[in-house]
Chain A
Amino acid sequence: MARTEALPLVRRTRARATKRERREALTFYLLVSPFIVGFLVFTFVPMAGSILLSFTSWDFIHKPIWVGLQNYQNLMSDQDFIQGIKVTLSYAVMALPTGLIVSLVLALLMNRDIPGVNVFRAIYYMPSLLAGFSVAALWIFVFDNQHGILNNLLATIGLPRVGWLTDPNWALKSFVLMGLWGIGNTILIYLAGLKGIPQQLYEAASIDGAGWWARLRHVTLPMLSPTIFFNLITGLIGVFQYFDQSYVMTNGGPPIIQGDQIVGSTRFYMLKLYNDAFRSREFGYAASEAVLLFIFILLITLFVIRSSALWVYYEGNVVKGK
């Protein structure tokens, strides 16, 4: 009985709220319309266009010819495509954890209250302001076989010179090493995260007898996990789109023989995609590679997001059973 009496009241309240909400919603949509229009025109439509193009053969001049799944079938037997996946995955496996860990360690060091720490923060951040191509040009000199800084350092301590960019065994690792040059942004985000951890948590932990390792493990890392999660997601997307440096520094080389094929030891996925689109001018084929890359990044990002429930701690979360 009580439920039936209450019903008209709820309806009246909803009707009043809907009118106001409608006006607010209209205001909201109008104000965000520049973004929505921009997103639709410059992101959504090109993305949808890419998906459609991936089912065509298109030389950019004539009208696209519908080829169905032919591009995708051809990709499966394209050695350079397979090599692009291998190289990019290898790079991701090496570069992502290295970048995340090194930048975390540096952020922890620079989170200390010591004189001159701001200078170090500026020094570590500055390289990340440089554009990819200029960084690549700089590192060509650093990695030079004869006159490069790294090989001169090795020679000084009596170690043999390394063909950083010319030796197939080293070229990809050189890119990982070079990647550390641009971790300033990640450090900055970590520092912001570290500043947000309440000091009383450390004080409480110290009173309970926790040493630096215990504080790091039980306070810092859990409280910083949303920041780590953010850096992981943006890092993931970044490593799978790695292009500038490989284009400038090695253009996919040095080549190696794999079975009955010759493949580039740094032929990243994006480099292959770029060459197919803008050198071979096979835009439909390149679009199919772009679609597959999008799906892969989407899936792996969703996987990481789903896994975050297991390892990312948000302050407002209520842990079941506690």
Chain B
Amino acid sequence: MKRFHRLHPLFAGLLVTGIALSAVPGHASSLPRSHGNASVSIRMAYFGGPDTKALLDKITPKYEKAYKGTTVVYEPEADRVKQVTAIAAGTAPDVFMLGDGDVRWYEAKGALANLSPYMKKDKVSTSQWIKGTLSIGTRKGKIYALPKDYSTLAVYYNKDMFRAAGVPFPKKGWTLNQFRADAVKLTKNDIYGASLSGDWVREVDPFVRELGGHLDNSNGTKTVGYMNSPATVKAIQWWVDLFLKYKISPTPAAAKSLGIGDLFASQKAAMNVTGIWPSLGASGYPSTLKFNWGVAPFPTGPHAKHVNTICWAGFGMSPTSKHKNQAWGLVKYMAGPVGDNVWGTAGGLPALKAIAAKHKVSKNPVSGVFLKEAKFSDLPSDINGPAAPQAVSDTLTEGLDLLLNSPNAGTVQQVLTIEAQKGQKAIQQYNAGG
């Protein structure tokens, strides 16, 4: 008893320490285990919540049937930080769902496997994808990610408002100046001619390119001399004038303050320049709008220069995967006909020509317009290099916020010069970090 009494504090301390340590999530316990009798477990990280998971569940059984003995374990990613942390910790998932802003950085850091050899081995031809949909996942001729879904930009327009204002409906080949002139005619009282984001660089980019400017060079390594070039300054001035001079769209702050959300759906704007998203799903435009509407292609710039952009998500594979064949198989299923049939009809446009043809997308008056724009989409300036999200997107967003919300603070030339230098510094900082 005496002996026990002497050991008591020691025992108590060890017990408490043991309990505390058992609460610490260990490396081993955080790893998924194989389910049932499956011999291989493939981990795939995804974003998008329960809706995306429901779509993944449509694809999984077909994959698991084809790859017998393989089970897919899905891991929801609340944000990219968790994904990067997992890569750093050596616990990267076998397959990633990727946002378009991540691909260049992941590839540059060696976190994505080159898929080209696997595609060659399995005779997966790149020609089966619609032009423009592979550009984000391709670097120096090697494919690092295959498309999940995507959208280009087009213009939704309210036919009733156009008729009431005596403005002809926009047609293929309409120009930027026609777009602006129509929007001016349609702007009256508390109705705006168009709903534009104002500071969303992905939307601004094709306007700038059509007007002859560039936000950075083609591989995202230079902003000075591009973002502040005379042509870009002129293009951004054109853009800023839409808000401040012609007042065809509320500025971002004014739009937020209106508290309406979708100005076009609320009939507070006659046009909406955006992607295919508002017309998807049960609450999409086709089933909810109570007025006549249509979709027009993105306007064409001077000298018939037509440029569009692409908003994209895709799939990549970790080079550290221990089950590369199964992981590649999952990428192939996700981005191939089985997956594209699911994604291309629920989350955006189909990337495979065969799936687009199967669903007769090109003949659809809504999705067909977006699909036809895909061939004009170029690699967006804000994601064409590993540092471009900071060097182009962050800087130009800040510059546009200043120009649109504090018009007297500085000239477009002055603001873009500062932002171009800031962007260049971000690129240098990235390069210095290796």
Q: A interface vs B, CB < 8 Å?
A: 23, 26-27, 29-31, 33-34, 37-38, 41, 57-62, 65, 74, 144-147, 163, 166, 168, 253-257, 260-262, 264, 278-282, 284-285
Contacts and interface: CB of A to CB of B under 8 A. Distances in A.
12 contacts: A27-B9, A30-B9, A30-B14, A30-B17, A37-B17, A57-B432, A57-B434, A74-B429, A147-B259, A168-B406, A254-B406, A257-B418
Nearest to A42: B24
Contacts of B187: none
B405 interface: yes
A254 B405 contact: yes
Nearest to B199: A253
Interface in B1-58: 9-10, 12-14, 16-17, 19-21, 24
B11 to A, nearest CB: 9
Given A166-B253, A284-B433, A257 B414 contact: yes
Interface of B: 9-10, 12-14, 16-17, 19-21, 24, 80-81, 84-85, 87-88, 105, 109-111, 253-254, 256-259, 387, 389-390, 394, 398-399, 401-402, 405-406, 409-410, 414-415, 418-419, 422, 426, 429-430, 432-434
A74 B425 CA distance: 11
Given A37-B20, A144-B257, A262-B418, A282 B433 contact: yes
B418 A261 contact: yes
The 5 A-B pairs with the shortest beta carbon distances in the complex, nearest first, are A30-B13, A27-B9, A34-B20, A146-B257, A255-B402
Contacts of A60: 84-85, 87-88
Given A27-B13, A145-B253, A262 B109 contact: no
B354 to A, nearest CB: 36
Contacts of B414: 257
Nearest to B9: A27
Contacts of A256: 402, 406, 409
A41 B24 contact: yes
Nearest to B417: A260
A252 B33 CA distance: 43
A147 B257 contact: yes
Given A31-B9, A34-B20, A59-B109, A262 B87 contact: no
B142 to A, nearest CB: 19
B400 to A, nearest CB: 9
Contacts of A37: 17, 20-21
Contacts of A278: 80-81
B257 A33 contact: no
A262 B402 contact: yes
Nearest to A276: B429
Nearest to A267: B398
A contact face: mostly helix, strand, loop, or mixed: mixed
Nearest to B21: A37
Contacts of B433: 57-59, 282, 284-285
A262 B258 contact: no
Given A144-B257, A280-B390, 18 more contacts: A23-B9, A31-B9, A31-B13, A37-B20, A41-B24, A65-B434, A144-B259, A146-B257, A253-B398, A255-B401, A257-B414, A262-B398, A264-B398, A278-B81, A280-B387, A280-B426, A281-B105, A285-B429
A231 to B, nearest CB: 31
Contacts of B84: 60-61, 281
Given A145-B257, A280-B430, A33 B16 contact: yes
Contact of B111 (A26, A61, A74): A61
Contacts of A281: 84, 105
A171 B258 CA distance: 19
B88 A146 contact: no
Nearest to A140: B256
A262 B399 contact: yes
A44 B288 CA distance: 56
A29 B16 CA distance: 12
Interface centre among A253, A262, A264, A282 (most CB of B within 10 A): A262
A261 B425 CA distance: 13
B192 to A, nearest CB: 15
A311 B10 CA distance: 44
A61 B88 contact: yes
Interface centre among A23, A30, A58 (most CB of B within 10 A): A30
A275 to B, nearest CB: 8
A73 to B, nearest CB: 11
Contacts of A166: 253, 405
Nearest to B256: A144
A254 B399 CA distance: 10
Contacts of B259: 144, 146-147
B256 to A, nearest CB: 8
Contacts of A280: 387, 390, 426, 429-430
Contacts of B109: 59, 61-62
Nearest to B109: A61
Contact of A34 (B10, B17, B389): B17
B184 to A, nearest CB: 24
B24 A29 contact: no
A74 B426 CA distance: 12
A8 to B, nearest CB: 29
A260 B17 CA distance: 57
Contacts of B394: 279
A127 to B, nearest CB: 23
B418 A260 contact: yes
B110 A61 contact: yes
Nearest to A30: B13
